[in-house]
Structure 1
Amino acid sequence: MSDRHPTPARRQLPGGWQRFAARLPIILFRCGLGWIFGKRLLLLHHTGRVTGLDRRAVLEVVEYAPADGNLIVASGFGSGAAWYRNLRARPDTVIQLGNRHFAVTAHFLTEDEGADVMARYAPRHPRIARRLCAFLGLPADGTDVGFREAGRAVPFVRLQAGRGSPLP
């Protein structure tokens, strides 16, 4: 029997129609329809670590603090997600919020900071928080302790807006 702590189940990336549905928001952003998502979703432009090509990912905004110039996003597919690894390699990038672009720098939160973020997020979005826990194979008991544990398992990234491009 192993003494290792259980880790969240690794989720396979969607394929077929599920991949199309998951990538549909990128198409909407590129067509100038980003305003549909308000400040709930953003389009992250990132540069491939190996290819150097421009890549895009639509992410949910977990926390939005325009006064501080901060947005926090989470990697539901863990630290192995391509966009997450690309930001680790090149943290200065651009996001699109609505139809506006902003220069940002990625800062990677610690597990304890992630626990705090998830504890604040869960009361605002209880159904989505429980689904995220289930999606990751974590207990979705609906308690603060359970959500904090999920927050330790999920990598969070703070996107800090540059001085020349404050968030709306």
Structure 2
Amino acid sequence: MEISRRPAPPTGLRRAVFRAPIRLYRMGLGALVPSRLLLLNHIGRVSGQPRQVVIEVVEHERSTGSYIVCSGFGPNSQWYRNLLARPEVTIQVGARRLAVRAEPLNAEEGGTFMAGYAARHPRAARKLVKFMGFTVDGSLADYRAAGRELPFVRLAPRGAPR
């Protein structure tokens, strides 16, 4: 695995495209959004204002109801930093809303989740790691190494056993 270049968060038209699913959620059409995406409602750590972002689900742990997500733009993504400051948030997946607590994962756990994602979604994983600035040889070991470089978060339902 090699880090070729780390992308900057999107701006302009690219940002508008990334944020398009938010409009569907706001219009009450969250059921039309693929289940691989969720809407994260969080609070700005500096402004204290409500914020929203749509992020891809890396894995849904059905046994606990938790969702695993990753900050593809790295640890400086605003939503990730906001979660670290205020981990009690809500999410919406399709038409379902949940109160969750954000729990950062360690590098090894991140590597394991990335390797699992690559095994389940090989084409999407190839595109995703390329977009995030990694060059991988396609092996699970390389995906695991890429996953160790990224911040992963478990969004666990509040009140669920840990």
With structure 2 as the length reference, what TM-score do the two structures score? 0.92
| Corresponding residue number in structure 2 for 1:68 | 64
Q: 1:114 aligns with which of 104, 110, 120?
A: 110
Give how far 1:8 is off.
6.1
Give the structure with higher Rg (CA): 1
Tell me if structure 2 keeps the 8 A contact 1:72–1:159: yes
Q: Equivalents in 1 of 2:30, 2:40: separation in Å? A: 12
C-alpha distance in structure 2 between counterparts of 1:136 and 1:79, whole Å: 12
Residue 52 (structure 1) aligns with: 48
Greater relative CO (CA pairs within 8 A, separation 6+): 2
CA-to-aligned-CA distance 1:2-60 (integer Å, 9 cap, x gap)? xxxx7563312222221211110011111111111242111000100110000000011
C-alpha distance in structure 1 between counterparts of 2:70 and 2:4, whole Å = 15
| Counterpart Cα distance in 2 of 1:101 and 1:38 | 15
CA contact (8 A) 1:95 1:102 kept: yes
User: Does the residue aligned with 1:43 lie in a helix, a strand or coil?
Assistant: strand
What SS is found at the alignment partner of 1:79?
A: coil
* Aligned 8 A contact 1:39 1:97 in 2: yes
Could you list the structure 1 runs, at least 4 aligned residues long, displaced by more than 4 angstroms after superposition: none
Structural mapping, 1:91-130, within 5 Å: 91-130=87-126
Where structure 1 has 5 or more consecutive residues not aligned to the other structure, the ranges are 1-5
Aligned-CA RMSD value: 1.5
**1:52 aligns to what SS in structure 2?**
coil
Unaligned runs of 5+ in 2: none
Q: Percent identity?
A: 48
* Structure 2 residue matching 1:123: 3-state secondary structure: helix
Name the SS for the 2:80 alignment partner.
Answer: helix
Tell me the residue number matched to 1:137.
Answer: 133
SS of the equivalent of 1:32 reads: coil
How far apart, CA to CA, are the structure 1 residues paired with 2:11 and 2:75? 20
TM-score normalised to structure 1 length = 0.89
